[in-house]
């Protein structure tokens, strides 16, 4: 497997995934201030007051080889529309999780999420030669669960009382994955979906 900490840019028809950096701070700040995704109790998005610390933390994890964070840029207007990461990186196996993802409301339920996931999965399963890519979400986050299932991921199981939410509630976490074995059919499915956009 290639060294996961190597920066890369991934590009499709709708999006460009570039290394997250502090230069994206003001655009991300504006998105959070406008859409208030940090107020959703079942997901974890930094508030405007926590954003700088959150970016710094992600970059520290990247330096340790534990995360590779990306800013999601819409090619239609060359604006940052969200964040996603490779996280929980296991170089030994090799496998990783796609997570800590959030989008501006204006691009939710558009082709941007599908293409973003396609680019990340293709890079992880083909270039990095991972044997599996995980997705995790709160059991009650039906929007996220439907989006993950729509990609072609399979439910591996549910981690009961897996962690505490920001409000102190106990969270059951649904764990999904796409394996290298699944990738051929999932890739064809995603490429078919992307033809609509």
The pLDDT tens digits for 50-109 are 889 999 999 999 988 889 999 999 999 999 999 999 999 998 899 999 998 888 888 777
Tokens (6 digits) for 132: 């599996």
Highest mean pLDDT among 6-15, 161-170, 175-184, 187-196: 175-184
Count CB neighbours of 61 within 10 A: 18
pLDDT of residue 2: 60
Cα 191 off chain centre by: 18
Beta bridge partners of residue 134, listed in sequence order = 97, 177
pTM of the model: 0.90
CA nearest 9: which of 127, 129, 150? 127
Q: What is the DSSP secondary structure assignment for residue 24, as one 8-state letter?
A: G
In angstroms, the CA 189 to CA 59 distance is: 33
In angstroms, the CA 143 to CA 65 distance is: 30
Burial track 80-107 (b if 16+ CB lie within 10 A, e otherwise): bbbbbbbbebbbeebbbbbbbbbbbeeb
In angstroms, the CA 62 to CA 64 distance is: 5
pLDDT of residue 44: 67
> How far, in Å, are 37, 84, 114, 134, 173 from residue 140 at the CA level?
16, 21, 21, 18, 9
């Amino acid at each position: 497997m290639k060294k996961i900490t190597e920066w890369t840019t991934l590009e499709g028809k709708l999006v460009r995934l570039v290394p997250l950096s502090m230069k994206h701070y003001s655009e991300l700040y504006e998105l959070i201030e406008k859409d208030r995704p940090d107020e959703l109790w079942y997901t974890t998005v930094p508030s405007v007051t926590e954003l700088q610390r959150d970016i710094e933390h992600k970059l520290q994890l990247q330096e340790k080889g534990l995360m590779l964070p990306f800013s999601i840029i819409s090619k239609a207007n060359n604006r940052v529309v969200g964040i996603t990461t490779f996280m929980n990186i296991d170089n030994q196996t090799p496998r990783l999780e796609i997570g800590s993802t959030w989008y501006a409301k204006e691009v939710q339920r558009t082709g941007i999420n599908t293409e973003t996931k396609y680019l990340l999965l293709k890079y992880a399963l083909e270039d990095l030669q991972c044997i599996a890519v995980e997705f995790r979400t709160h059991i009650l986050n039906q929007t996220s669960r439907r989006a993950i299932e729509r990609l072609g991921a399979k439910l591996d199981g549910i981690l009961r009382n897996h962690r505490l939410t920001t409000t102190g509630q106990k969270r059951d976490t649904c764990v999904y994955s796409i394996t290298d074995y699944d990738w051929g059919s999932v890739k064809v499915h995603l490429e078919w979906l992307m033809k609509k956009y």
